[in-house]
Amino acid sequence: MSRRHKTPPAQTLGILAFEAGKTMCRLVSLYNSLSDEQTTNLRREVIKSKGVSYLNSDQECFLLNLASAERLQDLDAAASTVSRLGRKCSDISLSQFDRVYADLKLGHINLCKLQYGSRTAGKLVNKTKKLVFATAALHSAMSSMAEMEAADKKIQQRCKTATNEYLSEKIAFQRKEVQHYKETSLWEQTFDKTVGIMARLVCIVYSRICSVFGSYNDGFCLLEHRELYKMMQESVHKRVTKFAAVTGNGGDKVLGLAPPSTVGGAGLSVRYAEVILFAERWLHAPETVGEGAREVLYEMLPERLRGKVRAKLRGRLVEEEGVLLADGWREAVEELMEWLSPVAQDTVQWQAERHLETAQFETRPTVLRMQTLHYSDLEKAEAAIVEVLVGLSCIYWCERR
């Protein structure tokens, strides 16, 4: 008598639920960043803001190319994870998603069926959010349970005969919570179902990027063309460098563009952002920075900037001949801060978002690198920072005379 072979149960994600959840967060964040509201704000507000246009570039084409490249790079990273998880799928189209994604970028797949903002896309995003939120809750519940079990273990080591009934009850309840979230989150979902959801989102987001940025992401390329680059980047001291196609690996090359003439190229983006924001606190809320604010701020500066500040202060004091008006200086510094502070805030936020991406489940749109200090002209940025610091010093002296 022959035995019937039972079909083995579909493999579920288990501990890989957290990696899948983070990837889903990235995809939903990308989806949200490409809404009509976000894209209108990018074109009308962000790239036309004084900080971005003065420090980075006043060329819309250049800035949109960078924005497109960054969104594509983020999507490529998500698609890479989807492809890796897809190798555990039984569906061949999912197990070979890397080929599907390559065909998508080569234009071999009809993007008209992948409508951003459609009812189907909306349902898919909402379903994804529910799974993400449940997975985030599971992560939190498991972390709490681990802390409780560690505390219980310490108690037992100290008093081998004693038991903490209250803590034991809490651990038992927490285990039930963990089991509940395992059943409702990605933990118990199959690879085929999870990867299928993410694969559709990847395709929808790619379609939307093509729609929003058009030619800025369709093989757009700038290759060592000095005249063209000069035309686009006269505001950044005629930097001459290489751009590559923003599709495929080209996005990495475009985003990596930060020559020594930029703040990012000098490795000073975060440092200068912190200086600017500390100076802003000193200007508007001096009680929050303490009496030693000037010394703290001075220590934050690299040596090259300290020299510029000292030289500027000496020259300014000679010009003023001791007649310093605090109100005039405060007005001048506030005017600078109006456009300098937002770029500094975006720089800190960009860094925080990239670090938190590995620790938290977040689906909000993220800041673009082109609106940070990364691509800012180093001389212009330092000149503005020096003016702010000199102005603050003059205010300090005026108010203590």
* pLDDT for res 388: 93
Asked if 230 contacts 92 with a C-beta cutoff of 8 angstroms, the reply is no
Residues facing residue 12 across a β-bridge:
190
Token reading at 358: 């590995």
Q: How far apart are CA 63 and CA 76, in angstroms?
A: 20
Following DSSP, what letter does each residue of 98-121 receive, concatenated? HHHHHHHHTT-S-GGGS-TTSHHH
Q: Alpha helices, DSSP H only, in 159-268? A: 165-184, 191-213, 226-232, 250-255
Phi and psi at residue 364, to the nearest 5°: -70, 155
* DSSP H or E segment with residue 272: helix 269-284
User: What pLDDT is stored for residue 347 in this prediction?
Assistant: 97
Q: Which of 105, 68, 114 is nearest to 83 (CA)?
A: 105
N- to C-terminal Cα separation, the chain: 105
Cα–Cα dist 278/57, whole Å: 25
State the pLDDT at residue 228: 34
Residue 169 and residue 160: Cα distance in Å, rounded?
18
Query: For residues 328 and 237, what is the distance between their CA atoms, to the nearest angstrom?
Result: 31
Phi, psi torsion values for 387, nearest 5 degrees: -60, -40
pTM for the complete prediction? 0.83
Q: In angstroms, rounded to a whole number, what is the distance separating the alpha carbons of residues 166 and 67?
A: 54
User: Residue 391 contacts by C-beta under 8 Å, 6 or more apart in sequence?
Assistant: 329, 330, 332, 333, 336
User: CA 82, 84, 90, 93 torsion: positive or negative?
Assistant: positive
pLDDT in tens, the chain (401 residues): 445 556 667 789 999 999 999 999 999 999 999 999 999 999 999 999 999 999 999 999 989 999 999 999 999 999 999 999 999 999 998 999 999 999 988 888 877 777 888 899 999 999 999 999 999 999 999 999 999 888 888 877 777 655 677 888 888 999 999 999 999 999 999 999 999 999 999 999 999 999 898 766 554 333 222 333 344 344 343 332 333 333 444 455 555 668 889 999 999 999 999 999 999 998 888 777 766 777 888 888 988 899 888 888 876 655 554 455 666 788 889 999 999 999 999 999 999 988 765 567 888 999 999 999 999 999 999 999 999 998 888 887 777 66
Q: Could you tell me how many residues make up the chain?
A: 401
CA atoms within 13 A on the CB side of 200: 17
* Res 258: pLDDT: 81
Tokens standing for residue 309: 């500040």
Structure tokens at 72: 């594509």
The pLDDT value given to residue 320: 55
In 3-state terms the chain splits into helix, strand, coil percentages (rounded to 5) of 70, 0, 30
Strand partners, 262: 377
Name, in order, each residue with C-beta under 8 angstroms of 216's C-beta and a sequence gap of 6 or more: 61, 64, 65, 67, 68, 246
